[in-house]
Amino acid sequence: MRAIPASPRSLLESLFSTAVRATSPHSALPAYLPAETRRPAVVIGAGKAAASMAASLEQHWQGALSGLVVTRYGHAEECRHIEVVEAAHPVPDAAGERMAQRVLGLLEGLRESDLVICLLSGGGSSLLACPANDISLADKQAINRELLRSGATISEINCVRKHLSAIKGGRLAQACGPARLVTYAISDVPGDDPAVIASGPTVADPTHSADALAILQRYDIATGEAVGRWLQDPRSETLKPGNSAFANSEYHLIARPADALAAAASAARAQGLEVVELGDAIEGEARDVAAHQAAMALELQRHARQPTLLLSGGETSVSVRGSGRGGRNAEFLLAVACALQGASGIYAIAADTDGIDGSEDNAGALLAPDSWQRARALGLDARAMLDNNDGYGFFEALGDLLFTGPTRTNVNDFRALLVLP
């Protein structure tokens, strides 16, 4: 039997940091750049990692660079030539709308000999907000809020976003024509589908306006007159595969959730742990995923002969019915706590690799075998707090929230359950 880690909490935090470093733009982007980097380029982009991607591009690109990228408030990184601006996430604001118009303005009058480099990562959907037709920003904001509270998957949410936008669903690629377009992207979505990442502004979209309308109806979200009318208008269709807008375009996925988990798994094995990889594309209600993984940990513990790590990624969802605070990672971990009820020898971490759990100020939280008893001693009712979607409040009271600040990358959630024999 191998030695039990001296500090399980420190081990889990270290594995999370390893996962984040492996998918940093400064680590990932250079390998995907062409051998010839001396030609000038117009740079555009959006996402939580966009500023870091732009800074890395500037370090390794020899030709003249100009342009504009939009990132989330607090996620900027200094660039010399590429302008970095900030806007709101996950619900768009007026700054994001202005920046989307500025990006489109940069693309006017390009020639076939010009080069456009687009830097995309998770968060780009709300950061480039360009409502279609007579849809207002307020319309988009209201629908975004309802979708985020509904329990809809990110693919469903972004399907709606694409069909309400004048820039997503391949339309940004169309605006780049006839210039050559090269997109570098970091995936934050289960399955790494380019059409879902940042709502696919530079790639073809296989979904239809009828799909978006069906999603809104499925989650009982009112469209309003302008949105309902637009989704039934043929002009609301996104650009489909085979469209000529993509003839002079290429797309490179430089970092994925699988890369983060692979780095963490390698580091864990180097420290003598057995690793069970559950996948990087797990979806579903956070509390349901938590119940399943907690049951796996308990079953594994009955037979384990050495420390074992259950490792997973993806993006769960939360159907918000309460008034508490907390993103999907805090919700997941609180549901794990309710399932384990202080079972000995099981520790856990759940955190978003961008450093922000939903719209909170923490990346996630940590759970230890004594968390259940400490909570009871403080008079906390874990099950009631879960019903109130108050994972943040639970772990804040215990002092077990994880704060990293913006990491300037974004490859979705990181979850690890450490099972000691």
pLDDT tens column, 345-389:
999 999 999 999 988 999 999 999 999 999 999 999 999 999 999
Q: In 3D, which of 41, 164, 182, 45 has the Cα closest to residue 102?
A: 45
pLDDT band at 6 (very low <50, low <70, confident <90, very high): confident
Q: What was the pLDDT predicted at 5?
A: 74
Residues 249 and 372 in one domain: no
Q: Check: CB of residue 78 under 8 Å from CB of residue 55.
A: yes
Among residues 208, 230, 255, the one where a domain terminates is: 255
Taking only the tens place, the pLDDT of each residue in 184-214 is 999 999 999 999 999 999 999 999 999 999 9
pLDDT above 70 (res 50): yes
Query: What CATH number does the domain containing 263 carry?
Result: 3.40.1480.10
What percentage of the chain reaches a pLDDT higher than 70? 99
Question: What's the sign of the alpha-carbon dihedral 126, 84, 258, 337?
Answer: negative
Query: What DSSP state is assigned to residue 327?
Result: -
Tell me which residue range forms the domain holding 161: 25-255
pLDDT above 80 (res 4): no
Among residues 232, 255, 278, the one where a domain terminates is: 255
Beta-strand relationship, 401-402 and 364-367: antiparallel
Residue 279 covered by a domain: yes
Task: Indicate the pTM of the whole model.
Answer: 0.94
Residues 378 and 241 in one domain: no
Residues 169 and 39 in one domain: yes
Give the H or E element holding residue 85.
strand 83-87
Residue 203 covered by a domain: yes
Residue 211 covered by a domain: yes
Measure the CA–CA gap between 330 and 351, rounded to whole angstroms.
8
Which residue has tokens 């009112």?
222
Give the number of residues written for the chain: 421
How many domains does one find in the chain? 2
Q: What was the pLDDT predicted at 2?
A: 57
Among residues 235, 255, 275, the one where a domain terminates is: 255
**CB neighbours of 395 closer than 8 A, spacing ≥ 6?**
330, 333, 334, 365, 366, 401
**CB neighbours of 137 closer than 8 A, spacing ≥ 6?**
92, 93, 94, 97, 129, 131
Tokens matching residue 88: 């709101």
Q: Check: CB of residue 169 under 8 Å from CB of residue 202.
A: no
Amino acid at the residue 146:
E
Residues 289 and 344 in one domain: yes
Amino acid at the residue 90:
P
Residue 54 covered by a domain: yes
Residues 293 and 306 in one domain: yes
Mean pLDDT, residues 28-32: 98
Give the start-end residues of each E strand in 199-317.
249-255, 274-282, 308-314
Give the start-end residues of each E strand in 316-406.
346-352, 364-367, 401-402
Residues 351 and 384 in one domain: yes
Q: In 3D, which of 293, 360, 281 has the Cα closest to residue 333?
A: 293
Residues 155 and 240 in one domain: yes
Residue 3 covered by a domain: no
Tokens matching residue 309: 């790590």
Q: Order across the sheet with 401-402: list the strands.
A: 274-282, 308-314, 413-419, 346-352, 364-367, 401-402
Measure the CA–CA gap between 320 and 317, rounded to whole angstroms.
9
Query: What CATH number does the domain containing 196 carry?
Result: 3.40.50.10180
Residues 155 and 269 in one domain: no
Tokens matching residue 67: 């342009």
Residues 251 and 262 in one domain: no
User: What pairs with residue 413 in β-bridges?
Assistant: 314, 352
Measure the CA–CA gap between 283 and 226, rounded to whole angstroms.
32
Q: Check: CB of residue 5 under 8 Å from CB of residue 11.
A: yes
Question: What's the sign of the alpha-carbon dihedral 287, 293, 296, 302?
Answer: negative
Residues 281 and 362 in one domain: yes
pLDDT band at 168 (very low <50, low <70, confident <90, very high): very high
Taking only the tens place, the pLDDT of each residue in 297-337 is 999 999 888 999 999 999 999 999 999 999 999 999 999 99
Residues 387 and 309 in one domain: yes
Measure the CA–CA gap between 132 and 138, rounded to whole angstroms.
12
Q: In 3D, which of 306, 367, 307 has the Cα closest to residue 332?
A: 367
pLDDT above 60 (res 113): yes
∠ CA 309-151-337, nearest 5°, is 35
Taking only the tens place, the pLDDT of each residue in 52-90 is 999 999 999 999 999 999 999 999 999 999 999 999 999
Residues 232 and 272 in one domain: no
Taking only the tens place, the pLDDT of each residue in 270-291 is 999 999 999 999 999 999 999 9
355 sits in the region (left: phi over 0; alpha: psi -120 to 50; else beta) called left
Residue 286 covered by a domain: yes
Residue 2 covered by a domain: no
> What are the helix and strand counts (H, E) for the chain?
16, 12
User: What pairs with residue 86 in β-bridges?
Assistant: 71
Taking only the tens place, the pLDDT of each residue in 213-259 is 999 999 999 999 999 999 999 999 999 999 999 999 999 999 999 99
Residue 329 covered by a domain: yes
